[in-house]
Structure 1
């Protein structure tokens, strides 16, 4: 199992949906709750965020590998599917 690094911005609706989808996924499958996730607000932790290659938030990484980067206009269901894929990858690693 690998740790997920999440980069976000306060007030970002896509970031809010990503966090809500994580809560929902954990309710659906408690194994997801075992995956360690470290969240960093990009303006509060620029020393962390500048270590990663991304443009939009939320962005989810395992190590330096970007597994998800939100795109403008994504629906909640699209975000949840990408977050689930990231958690599945973390569980397999």
Structure 2
């Protein structure tokens, strides 16, 4: 299973929406519970944020590859989980 890194800002409404979508999707599909998602606030982890290539939050990286950046949808967040579960 692949590692997921999610970059957020604590006061970002899109990040809050993405976090709600993640919880909803885990309820729908218990397999997603197995995916380890590291959530990093770019204000608290500035060195990490500066080392990555993104501009908007939330941004998801699966095994170090950016797979989504910006406004989340249920389907986009589902794809993050699906990519993390792929062999």
Bin of the TM-score, shorter chain as denominator length: over 0.9
Counting only pairs closer than 5 Å after superposition, residues 42-57 of structure 1 correspond to structure 2 as 42-57=42-57
Specify the SS of the correspondent of 1:60.
strand
1:89 to partner: Cα distance: 0.3
* 5+ long unaligned stretches in structure 1: 72-77
Partner of 1:39: 39
2:83 is equivalent to residue 89 of structure 1: yes
TM-score, scaled to structure 1:
0.88
SS at match of 1:38: strand
Alignment coverage as a number of residue pairs? 87
Give structure 1 regions of 4+ aligned residues with deviation exceeding 2 angstroms: none
Offset, 1:63: 2.6
Question: 1: distance between equivalents of 2:8 and 2:2?
Answer: 19
Cα distance in 2, alignment partners of residues 34 and 41 from structure 1: 22
Instruction: Point out where structure 2 has 5 or more consecutive residues left out of the alignment.
Output: none
TM-score by length of 2: 0.94
